[in-house]
Amino acid sequence: MSEEVNAALEFRDVDILFDRGNRRGAIEAALARLDAGETREEIGRALKVTVGVAGANLAVARGEISVLMGLSGSGKSTLLRAANRLNRPVRGEVRIGNGLAWLDIARCDDDTLRTLRKTRIAMVFQQFGLLPWRTVRDNVGFGLELRGMAPAIRRDVVAEKLDLVGLSNWADAYVHELSGGMQQRVGLARAFATDADILLMDEPFSALDPLIRRKLQDELMDLQKRLKKTILFVSHDIDEALKIGSRITIMREGRIVQTGTPDDIALRPVNAYVAEFIRHMNPLPTIVATAVMRRFEDLPRLADGMLDGGRIAVAPESATARLAGRPLPIRPHGEWQPGALCVVPAQLSLGEIVALRQRSGLPVLVEVDGRLAGLCDDADILQALCGEARFRPE
């Protein structure tokens, strides 16, 4: 099996245009202008054609949460909706992999499309898309019912999925009796119930208040650990994207500006536009110890051979440290005691590092792959907080 087919979903050179004027040949003319480098605005003005998405290339790996991020109108939903052909690209391919071969959902016949929508791809909308006259149980089982699944089997599948999202006691309630957060859980359960391996989620949590929203993000990440779906998720919230995304794609005016891991986006923005998004993020839960620390290999040596870490001296080889001439004990995170230096794991968040620094009054040491690799002191923490390192586009 080629590595390529390992992706579950892939957009290749996708252009999606909306013809507002219905003039013959307008789409072809718009494509020619697009290829000649005209902007979305110029094309819109000249031809009454809206460029929803232009030249989009994106591979979504099996089992990852890939987040589309961008301002309103940047083309996130348009691209997402191409994954089940609610929007049909005028050019390019939207390929669904099954591990062995690709299918182009942009061009496949209607029967294949129907089968893909029933079996492979499910959508969760912002406004839940639930049917108010049906109970929670019947909403979750709706897709299965359409597929003709026998009622007894359906009941079992629905019960299992309701259990998964913590709504077993609400099976017989009507959806209007539920809070917004609970309704969105019903939407999730319905998407999981179809056994689709690809979930399309269009701002599913954005109508919810911040507390419920964070809780559902946590729940989604928890469920994802168990279910390992391939999720394409639209958000306009950078903190949400950095929290849940294994990869993030930043879109602007219909085009993809950058795709990368949260670290790529947060630490290596490709241009000022992406950097501007990052400037507004909350770094405390997002930035991790390895991105904050000063690496030992960059520290100068003192006369006695120890590394000069500013107010402390460290000898990582022998795991010893000194403060103002006195030896300092070193303790792993979890066994830390006042008066000792704490060794934290590579992925510990900046927020937790700040808390530890506050309690201990000392720098923290960072362990990477079982070795002491660097330290975070006040200057490093402040630099990470104000984003010095993060905002420098390459």
Residue 84 and residue 94 in contact, taking contact as beta carbons nearer than 8 Å:
no
Which is closer to ligand ATP, CB of 46 or CB of 153?
A: 46
Nearer to ligand ATP, 236 or 333 (CB): 236
- In the complex, minimum distance from the CB of residue 37 to ligand ATP, in angstroms, rounded to a whole number: 19
Cα gap 348→67, rounded to integer Å? 22
| Least distance from ligand ATP to the Cβ atom of residue 73, Å | 4
CA distance 294 to 296: 6
The CB-of-94 to ligand ATP minimum distance in angstroms stands at 15
Residues that bind ligand ATP (CB under 6 A): 18, 50, 52, 70, 72-78, 236
Residue 9: which of 64, 75, 55 has the closest Cα? 64
User: Which amino acid, 198?
Assistant: I
CB nearer ligand ATP, residue 124 or residue 373: 124
**Closest distance between ligand ATP and the C-beta of residue 185, in Å?**
22
Nearest-angstrom CA–CA distance, 224 and 226: 5
Which residue's CB is nearer to ligand ATP, number 48 or number 155? 48
The contacts of residue 56 (CB under 8 Å, 6+ apart) are 11, 13, 14, 15, 75, 79, 92, 255, 256
Q: Which residues pair with 167 in a beta bridge?
A: none
Distance of closest approach, residue 265 Cβ to ligand ATP, in angstroms: 17
Q: Are the C-beta atoms of residues 314 and 375 closer than 8 Å to each other?
A: yes
User: 202: closest CA among 385, 74, 67?
Assistant: 67
Q: Which is nearer to ligand ATP, 22 or 72 (CB)?
A: 72
CB contact at 8 A, 122 and 197:
no
Q: State the amino acid at position 24 in one-letter form.
A: R
Residue number with CB closer to ligand ATP (124 or 312): 124
